[in-house]
Amino acid sequence: MRNKIVISFLMISSILLSSCSFNDNNIQHVEAEIIEEYPLINNSFVQGLEYDNDGTLLLSNGKYGDSELIRFKPGYQEISQKIDLDDKYFGEGLTVVNDKIYQLTWKENIVFVYDKNTFTKLVSHHLESEGWGICYHKNNLIVSDGSDKLQFFDNNDFDKVKEDLPVTYNGEKLKGLNELECVGDKIYANVLGDNNIYRIDITTGEIDLVVNTDKIDKSSYSDPNDVLNGIARVPESDDLIVTGKNWHSLYRIRI
């Protein structure tokens, strides 16, 4: 009996170790489990993704001439709300703060603020850098610009509130930070052209978790632009919804 218990323990240990491991610097590596797959709205060049608290998804689409902000329910192809951006703007990351939606533009140095319920444009803010990803944490809007740095702005006046935070992986700069999702005191981030999702400690800027997305079949996403981009935390859950540019599906993953 004792041998059986030992063997069972070893088997369970090896299963756990195979799906979760640590490297020398205590960075945890995990493989995402796919819990559910939903169709993505056709022709979505996803630059920003976030759940609203009513269970609908808000999505910012990029490309000059096609940029928009849309709302839809996961699992459905119907867009329930939409606003087109002028052709001169390339939509980027978005986030919700109370009754407002913030949407970045790529190289146009403008952050649009909308009424969440009507999609009416309320105001815009100037952003010195390029805009890639944005999320909200404790009165701060946190913005990525494709570098290794995160910028922190006050959500009311959009003034910078502190020094930029360098993001590091094993002590090295992690460049290409793209779509963001704030969850507690961590930020999940896409990195341009990378199939991992990185979790950033919001205080230190260090990566403490790397999520491998190999279980998502990406064989039909063959265009070099069709990369992983879009992370939204599922409300009242630790699961994430992830997708990519021009992908046909959204994937609910569990870490």
> In sequence order, what E strands does 62-162 have?
68-72, 79-84, 91-97, 100-105, 110-115, 121-126, 133-137, 140-144, 149-154
Contact window for Ca ion (CB under 5 A) among 9-17, 23-31, 34-42, 224-232? 224-232
Diameter of the chain by CA atoms?
Answer: 72
Q: Which helix (H) or strand (E) holds 43?
A: none
The answer to whether 92 contacts Ca ion (rule: CB under 5 A) is no
Contact window for Ca ion (CB under 5 A) among 34-42, 100-108, 141-149, 231-239? 231-239
Q: Site residues for Ca ion, window 112-141 (CB under 5 A)?
A: none
- Give the Å distances, CA to CA, from 206 to 173, 201, 222, 248, 254: 10, 5, 31, 32, 22
- Minimum CB separation of residue 241 from Ca ion in Å reads 9
Q: Count the residues of the shown chain that bind Ca ion, applying the rule CB under 5 A.
A: 4
Q: Of the two residues 181 and 206, which places its CB atom closer to Ca ion in the complex?
A: 181
Radius of gyration of the chain (CA): 19
Name which position in 32, 41, 46, 50 contacts Ca ion (CB under 5 A): 50
Q: Of the two residues 24 and 197, which places its CB atom closer to Ca ion in the complex?
A: 197
- Minimum CB separation of residue 134 from Ca ion in Å reads 8
Can you give the length of the chain in residues? 255
Return the HEC string of 127-154: CCCCCCEEEEECCEEEEECCCCEEEEEE
Name which position in 68, 92, 181, 206 contacts Ca ion (CB under 5 A): 181
- Minimum CB separation of residue 240 from Ca ion in Å reads 9
Residues that bind Ca ion (CB under 5 A): 49-50, 181, 231
